[in-house]
Chain A
């Protein structure tokens, strides 16, 4: 290759590429040059001067991070001249740095401390006054000690270049320069915690971890983050069996070097006060603590009684999409061995019409890093930035490179990338909009739309110009992706949206990505935790009810695995009714909420995230196994063991596993034999546009998605933790005569709740954004559905 050159560092001849910086070449060959401001993921600032090296023929030492290599260059990183420059830089850096290492949280993992050991003098010659900088309050996640800041600006560049929202800046000049927000406010980025890792000193540290332990006391375990389909690789740091913090574990293919705040700070929810520490059994009206043995025997006995009295179809099982492959597999196996087909993990999904036509498992359809290179993307019901923060970050990179990112959403979400086209519509409008895009593509394609949505596409024939343009952009792009997100899953026409999206992707030769909530939806499909398919996608015998039907057509007995239906169900009102009236609710989870306490008959404490081993399958189909890192709280046991014992007590055969690996191997085997499933789907029709109505749109905020994050105190103190309110656009408010701040009653599907009116221009006309999974909306009905505002 013509741009390959040879340079020499410390006498070693090395190959390099033209345009590389010296420090990159040195790093690639394990030659360590000291640095503070340089970071391989950030732009070059060259402001700390710690990386000065001697370059032959250069009159002065040069910063290795900002010196491009040239053929034949001779570099000395440890020559007397280089060392003198590095030591002098260190002396200047330490002038204003406090000597507070003994009380600094960074102590033991501080880049400045480490380098000062190597390059610092033992006694300071600086006898003047050091500067002192007041500490800004950046909110509940990041603690500040700005006197320690060395002005490397890594944190500033991170906001600007990576997170896409510049909140920190360097104000003032010279000695008065300081890093902060200038106007006091908490950081709002969903990725803000990364500045903690980037800060080379103890200026920015983790607030929840503050003063809890010294880094050298901690034991480091590998793990997989449990909140989204990325499956970020993490390190869990424990002390005496408890998780004290979570930090990223670099993996270029998945999370690079980053972590979302949700994955970083959710562990704080582990030890919440409503942690279920011992098994409990309902005797009459009250739950009482009992021995494991009693609890399990009772659970089995009562379950047998229900089956005997009402038949196996009276049993339903609902599992969290963040349960492990092993847990999900055992749950479906148990339910099916009882003779019931009612098992599902898709509690937030509103429509299951396209089930038969679904592929083996949802996913991104491409390796995660590929998302950075798409040229066009259409988001269908997706707030990717908040729902899948690290995929949002990848897509942002594509956007910054010029990819046309287009959205079809019920809310004009505040994205951190430029949006090329916006189609903002109410729920039926979204289906019509996507049908219009499909119709525009159908004209250029010899592929016909699937029969189930052919009617919708035909009705949309004369597509509006905006939809034509979306179709054109997808078709023209060399590589494009259609992303179906969580807001689409909540639609009562998810089936139509999913089929249309599939067709749009096919006709435009784009990739289809489906990104539901949870850490393991792909694993759930593969393990057979869906009512119509068993492990590996084989047709289920008998087929059962989906999550929504199980609650709308109440069962006599429920097994709940890691879910809180009052928050996690698509229709919490229906869930409360069904569970409240059931003869038996077996609750297997790490916590027991107020509502759970009302309806559980047997509560079995399960080991939480970090306390159990298992496997998640992420968006690009990777099976990521992990081991338990922390001690389960109280008498909690891994859920897979609970299910195994329960099955044995139910006299079901085939449950004698010794370890989760055996379970995983069984699922693997089923998946290996799987073919691409296929099935026919009934035609979808939309209701005639009544007009003048109001649609509830029930987004799930970033820190409300599952039981663990909902219990993380620090995350619940951020701006993203909201209570239910009626958020409407100004035009909708005017039409309905609603004023900001007014309290109104909301009626939906026979339910009622009172809340405040908030004017939010980003919400589609004719819609009211009433968040799901948050306090204040538990009593309401479907996450997406018609609603009314009642006065007085």
Chain B
């Protein structure tokens, strides 16, 4: 028929969000007025990404759209806008090297080149073993006084030198084993 049909696809998408994920999303939904459910989209995506090993897929984004009662495109917009949301599979550790002004003046670009060489990948890529993901162009992370700096997962590392970077990466590699 003319305009029906979307309902069925979405209903099966909802099943992608398990009970635990739904409970976590609900917790955020409750913080907004009922007609502003869509405000929970950012948190919902973060939760879903976390439970999916660090990235989002189209079916997952569609499921979130259906769950919050908004159009899928509105979810894609949010997911592609924020740099902490990934829309394709990426490595486990997210490395963000700041190359904004202060860091650039203090050698941030060299730090980035060094990491690229050591991991054998370019910015925006992940290592084949799925361990590291070198995020695209990071803007100022508000740690200019410790420039050059980088962020790996949730930790800031400041006053970097290539040696210091190696140490950090070594540690992470060991810790992973």
**A: which residues have CB within 8 A of B?**
165-173, 181-183, 188, 190, 383, 385-386, 411-414, 699, 701-702, 720, 722, 727, 759-763, 769, 771
Contact assessment for B1 and A769 in the assembled complex, using a CB-CB cutoff below 8 Å? yes
A701 proximity list for chain B (CB < 8 A): 1-2
Ranked 9 nearest A-B pairs via Cβ: A169-B73, A182-B76, A171-B80, A414-B3, A166-B71, A762-B4, A169-B77, A172-B80, A173-B81
A170 to B81, CA, bound (A): 9
Which of B4, B8, B72, B81 is close to A183, meaning CB atoms less than 8 Å apart? Answer: B72
Q: Is the CB of A181 within 8 A of B73?
A: yes
Cβ distance B145 to chain A, nearest Cβ, rounded Å = 26
B73 contacts A386, CB within 8 Å? no
Contact check, A171 vs B76: say whether CB atoms are below 8 A apart.
Answer: yes
Residues of B within 8 A of A386 (CB): 2-3
Query: What is the chain A residue whose CB lies nearest that of B72?
Result: A183
Q: Please tell me if the beta carbons of B73 and A762 are within 8 angstroms of each other in the complex.
A: no
A residues less than 8 Å from B72 (CB atoms): 182-183
What would be 11 A-B contacts, judged by CB atoms less than 8 Å apart? A166-B71, A171-B73, A171-B76, A171-B81, A181-B73, A182-B76, A182-B80, A183-B76, A699-B1, A727-B1, A771-B1
Other than A760-B5, A762-B7, give 11 A-B pairs with Cβ distance below 8 A. A167-B71, A167-B73, A171-B80, A171-B81, A182-B72, A413-B3, A414-B6, A702-B2, A720-B2, A761-B8, A763-B1
Q: How far is the CB of A112 from chain B (nearest CB, A)?
A: 24
Q: Which of A168, A170, A171, A727 has the most CB of B within 10 A?
A: A171
CB < 8 Å: which of A166, A181, A385, A763 contacts B3? Answer: A385
Q: What is the interface of chain B, defined by CB distance below 8 A to chain A?
A: 1-8, 58, 71-74, 76-77, 80-81, 83
Q: Which residues of A contact B8 (CB under 8 A)?
A: 759, 761
- CB nearest neighbor in B for A386: B2
Q: A166-B71, A183-B72 are in contact. Are A720 and B3 (CB under 8 A)?
A: yes
Q: Find out whether the CB atom of A169 lies under 8 angstroms from the CB atom of B74.
A: yes
Cβ distance B40 to chain A, nearest Cβ, rounded Å? 18
Contact of B71 among A165, A190, A699, A763 (CB under 8 A): A165
Bound-state CA distance A727–B74 (Å) is 31
Q: How far is the CB of A177 from chain B (nearest CB, A)?
A: 8
Cα of A412 to Cα of B58 in the assembled complex, Å: 27
Q: Quick check: A722 and B2 within 8 Å, CB to CB? A: yes
Q: How far is the CB of A733 from chain B (nearest CB, A)?
A: 13
The DSSP consensus for interface residues of chain B is: helix
Q: Across the interface, name the chain B residue whose C-beta is closest to A720.
A: B2
Q: Do residues B7 and A761 form an inter-chain contact, with CB atoms below 8 A?
A: yes
A173-B81, A183-B58 known; A760 and B76 CB under 8 Å?
no
Give every chain B residue within 8 A of A699 (Cβ-Cβ). 1-2
List residues of chain B with CB within 8 A of the CB of A183.
Answer: 58, 72, 76
Which of A183, A412, A722 neighbours the largest number of chain B CB atoms within 10 Å of its CB?
A: A183
Assess A166 versus B4: contact at CB under 8 Å? Given A171-B80, A171-B81, A173-B80: no
A762 to B5, CA, bound (A): 8
Check B3 against A188 for contact (C-beta < 8 Å).
yes
Interface centre among B4, B58, B72, B81, by most chain A C-beta atoms within 10 angstroms, is: B4
Please indicate the chain A residues that have their CB under 8 angstroms from the CB of B80 in the complex.
171-173, 182
Determine the residue in chain A with the shortest Cβ distance to B136: A176
Nearest CB of chain B from residue A9's CB, rounded to whole Å: 36
**A702 to B1 Cα, complex, angstroms:** 10
One of A165, A169, A411 near B1 (C-beta < 8 A): A411
By a CB distance below 8 angstroms, the chain B residues around A188 are: 3
Return the chain A residue nearest B80 by Cβ.
Answer: A171
CA distance A414 to B6 in the complex (A): 9
Contact B2 A168 (CB under 8 A): no
Complexed CA–CA distance, A411 and B2 (Å)? 11
Interchain CA distance A413-B1 in the complex, whole Å: 9
User: Which residue on B lies nearest to A171, using beta carbons?
Assistant: B80
Closest-CB distance, B76 to chain A (whole angstroms)? 4
Residues of chain A with a CB closer than 8 A to B4's CB: 411-414, 760-762
B140 to chain A, nearest CB (A): 14
Chain A residues with CB under 8 Å of B7's CB are 414, 761-762
Assembled-state Cα–Cα distance A209/B29 (Å): 46
Closest B residue to A172 by beta carbon equals B80
List the A side residues contacting B76 at CB < 8 Å. Answer: 169, 171, 182-183
Residues of B within 8 A of A762 (CB): 1, 4, 7
**Which residue of the partner chain, among B3, B74, B81, contacts A172 with CB atoms under 8 Å?**
B81
| A189 closest partner in B (C-beta) | B3
A600 → chain B closest CB, angstroms: 31
Smallest CB–CB gap between B165 and chain A, Å? Answer: 27
A168 engages B3 (CB within 8 Å): no
The minimal Cβ–Cβ distance linking A562 to chain B, given in whole angstroms, is 24
